[in-house]
Structure formats: C-alpha cells, structure tokens
Structure 1
Amino acid sequence: MSLQNKAALVTGSSKGLGKAVALRFASRGADVAINYSRDRTAADETPDRATACGVRAICVQADVSDVAGIEALFQTTLEAFGTIDIVVANAGIEKVNIPVVDITEDDYDLLFRVNTKGPFFVLRAAARHIADGGRIINMASSSTVRPQPGLGLYGTSKTAPKYLVRVLAQELGHRKVTVNSLLPGPIDGSGIFTGVSDADPYKKALLDTVPIGRLATAEDVADVAEFLAGDQSFFITGEEILMNGGSSN
C-alpha cells in the first residue's frame, strides 16, 4: 500500500506501538511527525529510521494532555509538511490491575487527563486541520468492550474517545475524511509487557484466553493502521476494529 505524498502525525510515537505505526507509514512513503512527551533520547532515533525510508520526518515535543501543546504540535507539522493527511491519536498511559475500590482521585485525574482529555483534543485538532480525504485513527483498547477486574479505570478512560470517533465520522464525512478506532488487546513487547516473558503469571493467564495462541505485536497493529490510513479503507468510517486474537477476556 502506498502512502506517498501523504503526511502523517502520530502522537506518542517515540517508542512502542506508536513508533511501529509511524515507521510503517514512513516505509510506505509518508512523511511523518514523531511526537514525544519527555524522553528525547528515545525520540531522536525514530526520525532517523523514518528518513532512512526516503521520507521527511520531524520530532516534536508535546504533552498531549495540554491543549496548547496539541495545537503547537499540529502547527509545527503543517509548517514542516504543508499538509496533514493522516492523524493517529495513540499517546496514552496504562494503569491496570487495580480494583475499583483501590483507585485514588490522583489515579483518576492522571488517566482521564492523558487517555480521555488528550485524545479528545487531538481528535478536535485533527478535525480542524486534516486535509480533505484524510484519515483519522483513534487507538483505543480491547478493554473497552471486554470488561475485566482491575481494568475499571483504564477501560473507562479509553471509552469516551470512541464515542467522539463516531460523531466525527458523521461531521467530517462530507469532506471524505474517515474516522475509526482500533481496539488492540495487550501488545507483546510494548506497554506493560515490555520485556516480560511468556512465563510471567499475568501474561500466561492472558495467553490462555487467546485462541490464536499469542498476544498481538506492534507490527500486527501497524498492519491494520496502514490499511485504515490508505485509500482501500475509504468506505470504512465510524467503526471500532477489535484486535485481540479472539480472546475471551
């Protein structure tokens, strides 16, 4: 799939899932804006790998829970590339295995600031700045449709942006802009499973629920993000694509 002559902005793309998606877009010919919050060292390596694909890449620091920072991120991307054709609202924070009775107000404020407020205003900025015919992807979570003990706060914080996606799909349809949510399950080698072996009890328990026999990888998710970012997905909008290998959890 070619994304040549496109420009993509992926939030939280200096590492993990966001990095895999941004580099996949670059490998298909898209210029990419790499966003990071704090770790500049990790962030610097990603644009270097993107430019090795023969595209332009920039690295932009921005806290996506700060509305002014989001606007600056979009403006910097527009100044660099002249257009924004693809936006992936990926940045988020995981805080799991906490029973609801143990959740503190600070826990709540943190996750809703990053996982709910952040995507809301990233999606708002995308709606304002994306080119006609563009693609907007919200990175949600399988926990929003597969409730589990210990995921009450995390799953709740990831639920609201999915509703906004469905609204934006209707509001932006006349511009031929599609808006969809991806709902990955736990990602092997990323997030809370960075460096975690299959022998880990929590990971093993999850593996036992997946008929396919393994967790998703960042590359699996990049496969579907690539499809949603391309021309072939034109008639898919306002949808939620669950990627959990058929897990019963």
Structure 2
Amino acid sequence: MFKFQHKTAIITYSLNETGKAIAERFASLGAKMVLHYSEKENYGIDKLVSDIKAMGTGVYKVRVNFKEQTNYEVLFLPQKRKPDIIVLNPEQDESLMQLIQFAVKHIADKGRVIYIVPKTDLQNFPDFIEQMKKQASFVQQRGITLNAIVTKNDLFEIPTGSIHIADAAEFFASDLSDLISGQYIIINGLKL
C-alpha cells in the first residue's frame, strides 16, 4: 500500500460508486480529503464524511453543481495549500475538460490529476487523449502527471468494479507513476 499522509486529495462527485470507492481508499492511506457533491447527490454525504473522519484523516465537503456554474475555485478553498491529487470523476453525461485545465493550474508541484473517463464519453475518447497529452506536456516542467482511467459499460455489473477503479487511481496517485503522464488504463472487466 502507498501512503498518502501529508497529501490532500479532491474527489469530484464523491458520492457515486466510483467516487466513494476512491475517496475511501485515499482516506485509508492517510490523505486529507475534499469531497465534492452535487445538490442531487446530497443524500449520503454526512455518512461518507463520518466514515472518513473515523479513519483518522481530515475531510471537507463542498457542494457545487457544475452544470449550473463553472466556479471551480470553490473546490480549492477548504484546504490551506494546493491539493496534491485531484480525481475528476464526472457524471455519466458530463465532461470535465474545463476542470482539467483549471486543475493543472491550481495543483501542487508534482501533483497528480486523474480523470475517470465516463462510460458514455468513449466515442470522444481519441479527441480526449489528444487534449490530455497537450495538457500533460504543458505541466511536465512542474512534475505534474495527468492520466486517465477508462471504464467499460458493463464494468459496473461486476460487484467489485469500483474497487478496481480505486486500485488504478491509487497507482496513478502514487510515486510509482512519477514518470507516467498523458496515459490511460482501460478497466474492462476481463472482456476484450
């Protein structure tokens, strides 16, 4: 296991299955957490916050609806320093490319930006990869890595699907991926 003590992680849409699995994993590794949730996700945030506090790490919750506003700065206000890890976990019908551009400007040096590619966004995947590689080259002088995790449509039929996504996110957030940027992992549930 990799230790994320002394690191701060922001997770968008932390109440969906994937966001929750990643938030719990990073908190169990010692990261201070900033949990984003939307108005329609409101149910369950207090329990997640309580569960993470019980792990012995700091946690903040931030409610914002990205479909109505693009004030991404609100995610960065709770902590006193720049975040070390940002997991952009969009809703099914949403792309967070603007948030990626904002995140790479506001993350700590040697930070990690991890984008969970929505199942429904696979048709735009080649364009996304090109945009991601452009962003990755832009931030490489600061040691920031920008990588993606792609999920296949039927992954969530597997009971442990979100756990496997959390495994990949842990890898991309760890020191093991220091020299990996502009890349992606496809988690396909063993189906080609």
SS of 1:187's equivalent? helix
What's 1:17 paired with?
A: 18
Counterpart AA for 2:11:
V
Change in Cα spacing, 1:20 to 1:29, as seen in structure 2 (3 Å) is: same
SS class of match (2:35) = strand
Please, which of 123, 129, 140 is the counterpart of residue 173 of structure 1?
140
Q: Which amino acid aligns with 1:60?
A: V
- The alignment of Structure 1 onto Structure 2 pairs a total of residues equal to 189
Partner of 1:123: 100
Give the unaligned 5+ runs of structure 1: 94-110, 144-150, 194-213
Amino acid of the structure 2 residue aligned with 1:87: I
TM-score (norm 2): 0.89
Q: State the Cα distance separating 1:161 from its structure 2 match.
A: 3.8
Cα distance in structure 2, aligned partners of 1:134 and 1:36:
22
Q: Is the 8 A contact 1:31 1:81 kept in 2?
A: no
Counterpart in the other structure of 1:163: 130
1:230 Cα deviation from its structure 2 partner? 0.9
Q: CA deviation at 1:81?
A: 4.0
Residues 1:159 and 1:37: Cα distance change in structure 2 (over 3 Å): farther
CA contact (8 A) 1:216 1:245 kept: no
Q: Which moved more, 1:39-48 or 1:121-130?
A: 39-48
State the Cα deviation string for residues 189-238 of structure 1 (Å, max 9, x = none).
Answer: xxxx5xxxxxxxxxxxxxxxxxxxx5751111101101110111111110
Greater C-alpha radius of gyration: 1
The alignment-based identity, stated in percent, is 28
> CA 1:215/1:42 → structure 2, altered by over 3 Å: closer, same or farther?
closer
CA RMSD in angstroms comes to: 2.0
The answer as to whether partners of 2:49 and 2:61 remain within 8 angstroms in 1 is yes
Shift of 1:50: 1.1
- How high is the TM-score relative to the length of structure 1? 0.70
Structure 2 alignment gaps of length 5 or more: none
CA distance in 2, matches of 1:92, 1:163: 21
